[in-house]
Amino acid sequence: MNAAKMSPRKPADSATMVSELMMPHQVNNLGHVFGGVVLSMVDRAAAVAAMRHSGHPSVTVSIDRVDFKEPIQSGEFVTCLAQVNFVGRTSMEVGVRVEAENLLSGVKRHTTSCLLTFVAIDRDHRPCEVPRLDISEPEDARRYREGQRRREVRELLDRELEAGEVGPRGKAAP
Ligand SMILES: CC(C)(COP(=O)(O)OP(=O)(O)OC[C@H]1O[C@@H](n2cnc3c(N)ncnc32)[C@H](O)[C@@H]1OP(=O)(O)O)[C@@H](O)C(=O)NCCC(=O)NCCS
């Protein structure tokens, strides 16, 4: 890998927007857009952000958190805004904000927030190193710290579950 390809990049360099007009076949009996439709858009936007950052094919390894804050209706114009928040050695946490726009009134609503982890892969489909993040902007530094903390907490919980210290296998279980 050449040095230029590995030079640090700003989160804004990975910023990605994916938009789609919601149609009647995408809603449930309540008239709300299926969560899976939104997640498909989120995954595609996040994948592009991860590939823009890493310069490698990048695969979803985990959808870490999804908050459906408000329903989306048929006829609304949905936009997913994705960018890399945090990077490890080969993994990247991508944050996605979803907005729904009523095209007649122009009103936009923040409907969904998601966090996903992607891994960059090489030609042999093995994880490969990604560039560092340039977090000189205070907002980028805050997002980076939060991503780092989420990773620490996830790894701690994984270790506790592995050791049988939590839940049905642990001492605290009924
Ligand atoms: C992604 C994949 C290549 C990783 O391979 P692996 O052998 O598990 O890789 P490693 O254990 O070395 O982990 C690689 C990185 O992923 C991270 N990672 C692994 N599992 C993770 C999880 N569940 N959540 C978050 N990060 C995870 C590791 O922490 C590591 O990060 P780092 O390099 O920044 O420290 C492999 O799991 C895979 O191919 N998964 C299927 C991906 C796919 O098909 N996605 C589409 C969804 S259908």
d(CA 61, CA 46): 12
CA of 92 to the centre of ligand 1 (A): 10
Atom of ligand 1 nearest to the CA of 155: 29
Atom of ligand 1 nearest to the CA of 87: 34
Atom 10 (ligand 1) nearest CA: 127
- Among 94, 112, 91, which Cα is nearest to 47's? 94
Atom of ligand 1 nearest to the CA of 90: 33
Atom 19 (ligand 1) nearest CA: 61
pLDDT reported for residue 165: 79
> Which residues fall within 8 angstroms of residue 53, CB to CB, at 6 or more apart?
9, 13, 14, 84, 87, 92, 130, 131, 133
- Predicted structure pTM score: 0.93
User: Residues lining ligand 1, judged by CB closer than 6 Å?
Assistant: 59-62, 88-91, 117, 119, 121, 127
- Type of residue at 60: T
d(CA 100, CA 112): 9
State how far the alpha carbon of 121 is from the alpha carbons of 34, 52, 57, 69, 100, in Å.
31, 13, 6, 33, 33
- Among 19, 25, 163, 42, which Cα is nearest to 95's? 42
pLDDT reported for residue 103: 98
CA of 118 to the centre of ligand 1 (A): 7
Contact (CB, 8 A) for 104 and 93: no
- Among 127, 133, 117, which Cα is nearest to 42's? 117
Domain boundaries, the chain: 7-165
Residue 67: phi and psi, rounded to 5, are -115, 110
Fill in the DSSP letter of residue 165: -
pLDDT reported for residue 3: 74
Atom 27 (ligand 1) nearest CA: 61
d(CA 80, CA 97): 6
Q: Which helix (H) or strand (E) is 50 found in, with range?
A: helix 35-54
Domain 7-165, what fold? Thiol Ester Dehydrase; Chain A (3.10.129)
pLDDT in tens, the chain (174 residues): 567 789 999 999 999 999 999 999 999 999 999 999 999 999 999 999 999 999 999 999 999 999 999 999 999 999 999 999 999 999 999 999 999 999 999 999 999 999 999 999 999 999 999 999 999 999 999 999 999 999 999 999 999 999 997 765 545 554
CA of 88 to the centre of ligand 1 (A): 11
